[in-house]
Structure formats: structure tokens, C-alpha cells
Amino acid sequence: MFREYTKALFKRVDARQLMQFKPPTLPQRIYTNTLKIDNAHYCAFCQEVDWPASEHPHPLYLQMLSLPLQMQCLLDKKSPFPLLGLIHAANKVSILEHVDLSEPVECRVRFHDVRPHNRGWEVDVMLEALQSGQLVYRSVSSYLVKIKAVHVAPFVARKEVHEDCDMQDRELIEALSVNANTGRRYAKLSGDYNPIHLSRISAKVFGFKQSIAHGMWTLSRAISSFVSHQENAESLYVEEVTCRFKKPVFLPNEIHIHQHCKTQTHALLDVTDRDDSNTHLSASVSFSAKS
């Protein structure tokens, strides 16, 4: 996706739309592509994020494969949003039916929603994946566009998903050393060669002291850790993942993955630094024993 990042450098943005009180107009175009899954690529992804042997695909693999379409969507000539400088704020992934990776997957990506944020606008990009004409997968990626404007909503503390839980049941399920080349490895798999992930030098150009891990790598790795920790890992079917990204994982680093508030069908996950002083992401996972 070097071409897309090159386009992003030269994309002209109509900042007037972002400065208005009303939400900017979203382009209506739908970007589509039919994918034939490369089994070797999927195996390399599973190895990278340590996905256990399972009857079901990793729930975030199609989300990763849709990234080129998402970038085309964000680079739409009618889009008022800059690609460079966007902050990946959240994701919601719903696996509606079992995805058969041996069959073609039709992916459709479009803008979905936009709303005020206390630091600018938060815009949603939706992926819908179909097999044999049936909707099997949906993902909404939320991106923060920072801008100072009259519309900006006052800060309202977001209720954390674990506030009503008994945190005494919080369990450390993995302590993980994250290598300095993690961003480059995941970039090779995903095609996301955003400079902030590649090296300390390129990350500094964009205001980061070090390179940072892709948020989707961190979330994918946390989901793998959670599934591996369950007794029925091979048949566990992840139905939905909801995540808020909070603070970047600078590379290299050590992260801790916790689970808590677990029931028969639901669990909460946190990824923190090793002394538990910063939370990198919080996620909710819904699952069943479906084969």
C-alpha cells in the first residue's frame, strides 16, 4: 500500500467541512473486492499473532485483509478526512456466520457514520463480507480526526466496560515481550506500512518517540491469548469483539494481557504495560462453543 500512502501525502483536504458545526458529508461510494484467501498468508498471520489450532478462522483476519479497501475509502476524492494523522480509536467486529477460508470472500467497504468528539470528529468505516451472497462478517473501524472547531463536544468521561465488574477476578493470562521489529513484521503481512510502525526514525517524523505496534496486531494477539487460555480452544467460536484503543504500545515493550468478568459467553480483556500503570486497550469478547 505504498501507493496509497503516497497519495495520502498529496491529498488535499477541504478543512472547511471539518470546521463547520454540522457533521461533514460522507461519500456514498462502496469499494468492493472479491478475495481468494492464500492459505500460506493465513498461516503466516496465525503464526504472527499466535492463533491456536482452531476450527474457526481468527476473528480479525478479514478485518486485516480489508485494509487496502479501507484506505481507498478514506482516500476518496470527496472525503474531507486526511489519511495521515488519523488515530485508530475503536473497532467492533461481528462474525455472523462461519467464514470458510477455502471459498471466495466478497468485501464491501464504505463510510458508515460520523459524530462529534471532544478532540474533533470520530468517523466510522464499515466492512461487510459475503460468501455465496450471504453476509457472514461485519466490522466497523472508528478513526479520530483531530481538529479545533466550534462543533467540538465537551469532554464526557466514557464509562469503562469493566466498571460494573468485580476486578478481584482479574487474571493475568500472558506476559508478552514485544520485539522492536513487530511493526515491520505486521506491516509485511497487512500491507499497512504507516511510517509510525516501521522505525524510531520514521515514527519521530510524525511526533512519536519510538515506533509503535499496530493496534490491530495488539488486539489480534490479545484475542489469540484469550482463546488459547480456554479449555475448549479448538472449538471456541468468537462471535463479537468490541475494542477501544487507549495508549500506543511503543516498541520494544512488555505487555500484560488480562481477562476478567468472564461468564459462559462473555469476557473482558485489558492489555496493559508490565507495571499495570497504563492500559493500551480494553476489549469485550462474546463467544460460544460452536463447531
Percentage of residues in the chain with pLDDT exceeding 70? 85
16 to 80, 113, 149, 181: CA distances (angstroms):
9, 19, 10, 39
167 to 82, 161, 223: CA distances (angstroms):
39, 12, 20
Q: Does residue 165 register a pLDDT over 70?
A: no
Q: How many domains does the chain have?
A: 1
List, in order, residues 6 or more apart from 201 with CB less than 8 Å away: none
In this prediction, residues 268-272 reach a mean pLDDT of 97
Place of cell 494477539: 221
Highest mean pLDDT among 70-79, 158-167, 260-269: 260-269
Residue 126: domain span = 2-289
Look up the pTM and report it: 0.89
Q: Does residue 8 register a pLDDT over 50?
A: no
Q: What is the CATH number of the domain that holds 15?
A: 3.10.129.10
Name which residue leads in pLDDT, 152 or 105.
105
179 to 82, 263, 282: CA distances (angstroms):
30, 33, 22
Q: What is the mean pLDDT of the chain?
A: 88
In this prediction, residues 32-51 reach a mean pLDDT of 97
List, in order, residues 6 or more apart from 36 with CB less than 8 Å away: 104
In this prediction, residues 155-173 reach a mean pLDDT of 68
Q: Does residue 196 register a pLDDT over 50?
A: yes
In this prediction, residues 202-219 reach a mean pLDDT of 92
pLDDT at 11: 55
